[in-house]
Chains A and B, each alone.
Chain A
Amino acid sequence: MRGQEQFEFRASFSDLAEGLDVLHESVERLRHATGRNEDDHALMLFETALGEIGSNVLTHGRPGHSDVPIEYALRLEGTTVVASLTDGGPPVRGHLSREMPDRESESGRGLAIARTLLDDFGYERDGGVNRWLLVKKL
């Protein structure tokens, strides 16, 4: 029964390419573990949001490309998927509420895409780290 599905995945990484691979691999594992298809729409939207936030965190959350690892967790709570990412980058301020830029712009869409696709999107500065929370009902 879908309401009783359980899934938990944890990883830490400090390399851009490795980190992106791990994020997509974790969603693939969740897809497989819960018997969902490649074309499961809600999970595809979640993966799109995760790719955006993950890319931001891996690009901006490693000052000087430091080896301080990014902590990542993915879990299923009932039929809701919850991801958290923690990075040691500088505090994130104005970008969080940024609207979708105009069509000719080559950047600046990531957070706007993630906000639109998720049911809940959280960010907090906790001591010296950024904590990101991504929630979507499947």
Chain B
Amino acid sequence: MALEVETRPATNGVTVLAPSGRLDVGGVPALRDAVGELTHNGPAKVVIDMEGVTFVDSTGLGSVIAALKQIRAAQGELRLAAPNPQVRVVLELTTLDRVFPYYATVEEALTGF
């Protein structure tokens, strides 16, 4: 089941990336490509809408960390929104919820961004 990533503009110059499917070793390239395209165009404010991500593993999580580093290196900022319970468990277990404070909805993530 390949991961698909939809890119859509939001308010205040923020871009929402909306992956759907499993974010695992098979899904990582699609997210990496989408983030690469955004940072190529300069500083980017990005919300990753996790609502459509049905499952994440440590490889998928690693790709989100890589995205964070890449976006910060381009003077941008990244927020995560709407992770499902499985994604939240993995974020909390790895204490990555302290690196990615996540928002319940995309609307919340966009507030004040």
B25 touches A16 (CB 8 A): yes
Q: Which residues of A contact B58 (CB under 8 A)?
A: 52, 55, 107-110, 113
| List of A residues within 8 angstroms of B55 by Cβ | 24, 47-48, 51
Residues of B within 8 A of A39 (CB): 85
CB distance from A78 to the nearest CB of B (A): 24
* Cross-chain pair count, CB within 8 angstroms: 71
Among A58, A109, A116, the most chain B Cβ lie within 10 Å of the Cβ of: A109
Closest residue on chain B to residue A59 by CB atoms: B25
A104 interface residue, CB < 8 Å from B?
A: yes
| Contact status A107-B62, CB under 8 Å | yes
Asked if A17 lies at the interface with its beta carbon under 8 angstroms from chain B, I say: yes
Q: Which of A20, A24, A44, A59 counts the most chain B CB atoms within 10 A? A: A20
| Top 5 closest pairs, chain A to chain B, by CB | A109-B58, A106-B62, A51-B57, A110-B58, A106-B65
Interface residues, chain B, with chain A CB atoms under 8 Å away: 1-2, 22, 24-26, 55, 57-59, 61-63, 65-66, 69, 85-86, 89-90, 93-96, 98-99
Q: Return 7 A-B CB contacts under 8 Å, by A number.
A: A48-B90, A55-B58, A100-B95, A103-B65, A103-B98, A107-B58, A113-B94
